[in-house]
């Protein structure tokens, strides 16, 4: 049998009901000099005013039972139809399209933000592989629908026809699921799975996700153990460990981690410096450690960064060094950001300078800035208690 679409069908001219193919009226656009299957030509209106979309071409192919032999051409039509937002029910074809084509359409729906269409296609797929499940899990996790991401992950583990080997789970899917976990018990099970797979101590994204998981669930000791098991710490995992210690108000550990980062030669970033400044503000050492971090920030050239700038004002203000806090504020005065203004206002209130706080509040309003509501309440209370 010769290759091509024509070999798949035989038309008998002896049939009394036969009509010449030229007299059949099919909903196809008129031919153009360019490729007739390109998306631009498919969308053009013909001379009679009717139009034909990519979905119409695919439905016509389905109606004529054209076999999917040219995967690239079929995938191109699928992608174009997905871009137009049309709902395709390709899984109802007999036989259904190859799995890799359905996965490409699933990824296309997810990339275009159409999770409803993607989930509908996923539910109708007669066969799913790891790529099918992982695409949808990652999409829901990316859209912060963590409950659905976890439900899909657990469903995948219990599917008999999924053809997924748990011993071959890639690190990125484990990091994705860890970021979606909001239960300590489930997190510990996933941690054990990561240890078996070898991801917990070698992959920085999994290690960071583990530290963040235990940190946001207030299991700081477990987060510390997860960070200590790393074979090669880096800036990402060190930042996560410092943030976890800061959440747990273990400020001595935050400063110790910052020193260790410097000895290990790991590059420091603005998040690290902002975190350690918060710890320095609560060390009650008259700003001694904070001044050293300030010098470090100047050396790195990040003292003007918004996070670092606010951290410096907060650190000097809490330590009672209002002159230094005001100097830092005036050096990098950004009238477009309210964060540093709020930090300076907090410094005045922290040190009981209520008149200065009220004056500063008027300055903020003159520049068109709105302080946080709880700061306004504190200013009102302070003014009322002092008869202002």
Residue 321 has a pLDDT of 93
- Segment 359-385 shows an average pLDDT of 81
* Minimum mean pLDDT range among 42-46, 100-104, 347-351: 42-46
The predicted-structure confidence for 193-226, as pLDDT tens digits, reads as follows 888 888 888 888 898 999 989 988 888 888 888 8
Q: So what's the pLDDT on residue 69?
A: 52
Cβ–Cβ < 8 Å for 309, 340: yes
Instruction: Provide the H-helix boundaries in the chain.
Output: 39-43, 54-63, 71-83, 99-111, 115-124, 130-142, 146-158, 171-180, 184-197, 204-216, 220-228, 235-247, 251-264, 270-280, 288-300, 306-318, 322-331, 338-350, 354-366, 373-385
String of DSSP letters for 205-219: HHHHHHHHHHHHTT-
Q: What's the token pair of residue 338?
A: 């309210």
Q: What is the pLDDT of residue 197?
A: 84
Kindly provide the b/e burial profile for residues 195-214, where b requires at least 16 CB atoms within 10 angstroms of the residue's own CB. eebebbeebbbbbbbbbbbb
Q: In percent, how much of the chain has pLDDT > 70? A: 71
pLDDT tens digit sequence for 119-146: 988 888 888 888 889 899 999 988 889 8
Q: Can you tell me the distance from the alpha carbon of 103 to that of 60, in angstroms, rounded to the nearest whole number?
A: 22
End-to-end CA distance of the chain: give it in Å, rounded: 98
Can you tell me which residue has the tokens 């992959």?
A: 203
The pLDDT of residue 123 is: 87
Q: Give the residue with greater pLDDT, 58 vs 370.
A: 370
Token pair of 134, please?
Answer: 């992982």
CA-to-CA separations, 331 to 263, 304, 326, 328, 340, in angstroms, rounded = 31, 9, 8, 5, 12
Which whole number is the average pLDDT over 301-305? 88
Q: Which two tokens stand for residue 129?
A: 């592989």
CB 92 within 8 A of CB 63: no
CB atoms within 10 A of CB 171: 19
pLDDT band with cut points at 50, 70 and 90 for residue 318: very high
pLDDT at 293: 94
Is there a cis peptide before residue 95, judged by omega within 30 degrees of 0?
A: yes
Q: Report how far apart, in Å, the C-alpha atoms of 126 and of each of 122, 134, 162 are.
A: 9, 16, 11
Residues with Cβ within 8 Å of 228's Cβ and at least 6 positions away in sequence, in order, are: none
Q: Which of 24-38, 39-53, 317-331 has the lowest mean pLDDT?
A: 24-38
């Amino acid at each position: 049998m010769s290759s091509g679409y024509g070999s798949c069908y035989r038309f008998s001219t002896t049939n009394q009901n036969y009509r010449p193919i030229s007299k059949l009226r099919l909903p196809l656009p008129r031919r153009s000099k360019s490729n007739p299957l390109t998306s631009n030509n498919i969308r053009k209106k013909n001379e009679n005013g009717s139009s034909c979309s990519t979905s119409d071409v695919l439905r016509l192919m389905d109606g004529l039972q054209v076999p999917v032999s040219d995967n690239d051409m079929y995938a191109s039509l699928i992608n174009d139809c997905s871009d137009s937002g049309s709902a395709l029910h390709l899984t109802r074809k007999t036989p259904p399209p190859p799995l890799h084509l359905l996965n490409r359409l699933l990824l296309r729906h997810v990339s275009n933000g159409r999770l409803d269409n993607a989930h509908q296609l996923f539910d109708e797929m007669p066969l799913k592989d790891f790529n099918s499940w992982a695409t949808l899990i990652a999409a829901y996790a990316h859209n912060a629908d963590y409950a659905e991401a976890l439900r899909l992950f657990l469903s995948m583990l219990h599917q008999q026809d999924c053809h997924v080997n748990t011993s071959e789970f890639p690190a990125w899917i484990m990091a994705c699921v860890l970021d979606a976990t909001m239960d300590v018990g489930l997190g510990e099970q996933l941690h054990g799975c990561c240890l078996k797979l070898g991801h917990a101590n070698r992959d920085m994204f999994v290690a960071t996700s583990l530290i963040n998981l235990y940190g946001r669930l207030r299991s700081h000791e477990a987060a510390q153990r997860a960070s200590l098991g790393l074979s090669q710490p880096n800036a990402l995992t060190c930042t996560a460990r410092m943030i976890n210690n800061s959440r747990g108000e273990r400020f001595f550990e935050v400063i110790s981690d910052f020193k260790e980062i410097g000895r290990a030669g790991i590059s420091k970033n603005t998040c690290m410096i902002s975190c350690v400044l918060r710890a320095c503000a609560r060390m009650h050492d008259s700003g001694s450690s904070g001044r050293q971090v300030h010098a470090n920030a100047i050396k790195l050239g990040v003292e003007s960064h918004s996070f670092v700038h606010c951290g410096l004002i907060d650190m000097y203000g809490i330590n009672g060094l209002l002159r230094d806090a005001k100097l830092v504020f005036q050096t990098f005065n950004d009238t477009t950001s309210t964060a540093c203004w709020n930090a300076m206002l907090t410094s005045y209130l922290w040190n009981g300078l209520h008149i200065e706080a009220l004056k500063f509040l008027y300055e903020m309003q003159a520049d068109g800035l709105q302080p946080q509501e709880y700061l306004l309440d504190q200013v009102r209370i302070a003014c009322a208690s002092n008869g202002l």
